[in-house]
Amino acid sequence: MSQSILPTIMSGNNRHIVLFGRTGSGKTSIFDQLVGEDRLEAEVKVGVSNAKFNPIVGRCRLGHAGEVTVIDTAGLDDVNELGSEQAQRTRNIIRRADIALYVINIQEFDRDARAALQRADAWMRRNMVPYLQVFNRCDEAYAGDIAKLKLEFPDAIFISTHTPGSVSLLRTRLSQMVRALAEKENPLVPEKLIQKGDYVLMLVPDSGLIHEYEIMMELMRRGARCVIINEDDLEVTLQEVPRIDLVVAYARSFGKVRDIVPEDIPLTSYSLLYGLQGGVLEDFIEGAHAIGTLTKDSHVLIAVGDRKSEIYKEIGRIKIPRAMRRLIGEELQIDYSFGLDLPENLNQYDMVIHDTDARMSVRSVRAHVAICKEAGVPIANYGTILASLAGILDRCKQALLPEEQESE
Ligand SMILES: Nc1nc2c(ncn2[C@@H]2O[C@H](COP(=O)(O)OP(=O)(O)OP(=O)(O)O)[C@@H](O)[C@H]2O)c(=O)[nH]1
Ligand SMILES: [Mg+2]
């Protein structure tokens, strides 16, 4: 599969379930049964039915949990396998998954396979991917062995693709897992940020609402009253409207807005709200603090999802580099990466700044945060960097993550 197909299959709002595991464990057999029964669309068969090098994608309906995307990957004998492009690609797919299935051939569950499972387990936890251990080929195993393993791995599922009905057990389990994900999801507007009847001032550009619309609708659903204005009208509106409980601005206008909006009115941005929803805002805030450690010899990477996006052209290309060089030194080296994958050589950077692209799924953003954490490189997004450059990072943090809430 060419790299360019990956973004297509890995974006979109469907939940993604990835099958991975050692060679011959039965991933493709499980994939065929999950997808085959209720196939809604033929998979992207680029390498023609060969998952050796190409992930294969299909869709499957999981009862109440709705439609999910299922991805079959090539055998990966050890999740920590280095050096191979295929292993790297598989890891990147797993990192973006909502749920991963680690498929184990129960017949070959020897010491070596156990050690591989432990490494996979540690890796999955580090990358924050919910996963399920699937012991396959149980038709060939002794009942006593299965019973022992069930005690040892109480959360695992034991199936066989050769036994009719076995995969429906897996479907049921997956459906539960998918529904549990939805329950854990953060709301787009945090519970305590606004109350019914609050007045929210929303700054929007002349070009009209696009992603702001989603936040506005969420505010309205929660009973807030939204006043939508152009940035130039901020000062006069603040005087005319008797009460404002929240201001949602563009992070790029923080520099202007911070002096106009009184300190006691919470101030935030669209990108900060999206970061909070994705569960990565705290990481981004921590990453943005690293600005204070940069010197003129530092090396910064701006990771951009879509090089054609207006936000990148305005913020990533011009505004942030200019402001950072003014602060740190003209010599500050800034590189760019494009697309869904971060470059391999992350270690050489002192900081990664993540593009705010609403088309990039929460899954991808989380994966990037996990990858940077693993590499020990601070990662921020446009919103937190712009807040930091405007000197209001703490103020923005206080609005969305007030101290007293953290201990709850
Ligand atoms: N007895 C038995 N054989 C199975 C079962 N599931 C899969 N197999 C067989 O195991 C072999 C490998 O299965 P695949 O589904 O291709 O395994 P895979 O994990 O996709 O293999 P790679 O893609 O090469 O890593 C095939 O011959 C399958 O027919 C099972 O539940 N019981
Ligand atoms: Mg296969």
Q: What is the pLDDT of residues 377-386, one digit of tens each?
A: 999 999 999 9
Q: Report which secondary-structure segment, H or E, holds 311.
A: helix 310-311
Residue of 182, 219, 226, 184 whose CA lies nearest to 201:
226
Q: Is 209 exposed, middle or buried (0-12, 13-18, 19+ CB in 10 A)?
A: middle
pLDDT at residue 117 tops 80: yes
Q: Which atom of ligand 1 is nearest to the CA of 31?
A: 15
What is the rounded average pLDDT of the residues 381-392?
Answer: 96
Question: What dihedral angle (degrees, nearest 10) is formed by the CA atoms of 387, 389, 390, 395?
Answer: 40
pLDDT in tens, 332-360: 999 999 877 788 889 999 999 998 765 56
Question: What dihedral angle (degrees, nearest 10) is formed by the CA atoms of 25, 31, 37, 39?
Answer: -170
pLDDT top residue among 209 and 176: 176
Which of 3-17, 77-91, 370-384 has the largest mean confidence? 370-384
Region label for 298, one of left (φ > 0), alpha (ψ between -120 and 50) or beta (otherwise)? beta
Distance 143 CA to ligand 2 centre (A): 26
Residues 6+ apart with CB under 8 A from 165: none
What is the gyration radius of the CA atoms in the chain, in angstroms? 24
CA–CA separation, 54 and 74 (whole Å): 7
CATH of domain 5-184: 3.40.50.300
Ligand 1, from 20, 23, 28: best to mutate by most atoms within 8 Å of Cβ? 28
Q: For residue 306, what are its two tokens?
A: 């879509």
Please check whether residue 68 is in contact with residue 43, taking contact to mean a CB–CB distance below 8 angstroms.
Answer: no
What is the rounded average pLDDT of the residues 73-85?
Answer: 83
Q: What share of the chain is helix, strand, coil (3-state, %, to 5)?
A: 45, 15, 35
What is the rounded average pLDDT of the residues 295-319?
Answer: 90
Distance 106 CA to ligand 1 centre (A): 11
CA–CA separation, 27 and 102 (whole Å): 9
Residue 356 Cα to chain centre, angstroms: 12
Identical fold for domains 199-274 and 281-389, yes or no, is yes
Residues 6+ apart with CB under 8 A from 16: 10, 68, 69, 70, 71, 96, 97, 98, 99, 363
Taking the alpha carbons at both ends of the chain, their separation in whole angstroms is 46
DSSP strand pairing (56-61 vs 67-72): antiparallel
Within 10 angstroms of residue 235's Cβ, the number of other Cβ atoms is: 13
pLDDT at residue 407 tops 50: no
Q: Which CATH number fits domain 281-389: 3.40.710.10, 3.10.450.50, 3.40.50.11410, 3.40.1710.10?
A: 3.40.50.11410
Distance 23 CA to ligand 1 centre (A): 9
Distance 25 CA to ligand 1 centre (A): 5
Ligand 1 pocket, Cβ-based, cut-off 6 angstroms: 23-29, 51, 74-75, 136-137, 139-140, 160-162
CATH of domain 199-274: 3.40.50.11420
Q: Please identify which residue in the block is written with the tokens 């009862």.
A: 63
Give the ligand whose atoms come closest to the C-alpha of residue 21: 1
Q: What pLDDT is stored for residue 389 in this prediction?
A: 96
pLDDT at residue 13 tops 70: no
Q: What pLDDT is stored for residue 211 in this prediction?
A: 67
DSSP strand pairing (157-158 vs 199-203): unpaired
Q: Whose CA is nearest to atom 13 of ligand 1?
A: 26
Distances (CA, A) of 42 to 36, 56, 124, 370, 397: 9, 10, 29, 31, 45
Q: What pLDDT is stored for residue 137 in this prediction?
A: 97
Distance 72 CA to ligand 2 centre (A): 7
Q: Whose CA is nearest to atom 32 of ligand 1?
A: 137
Residues 6+ apart with CB under 8 A from 255: 386, 389, 390
Q: What pLDDT is stored for residue 207 in this prediction?
A: 65
Q: How confident is the model at residue 328 (pLDDT cuts 50, 70, 90)?
A: very high
Q: Where are the domains of the chain?
A: 5-184, 199-274, 281-389
Please check whether residue 27 is in contact with residue 164, taking contact to mean a CB–CB distance below 8 angstroms.
Answer: no
> Sheet harboring 131-136: ordered strands across?
56-61, 67-72, 15-21, 99-105, 131-136, 157-158
Q: What pLDDT is stored for residue 366 in this prediction?
A: 84
| pTM for the model | 0.72
The percentage of the chain sitting over the pLDDT mark of 70, rounded to a whole number, equals 88
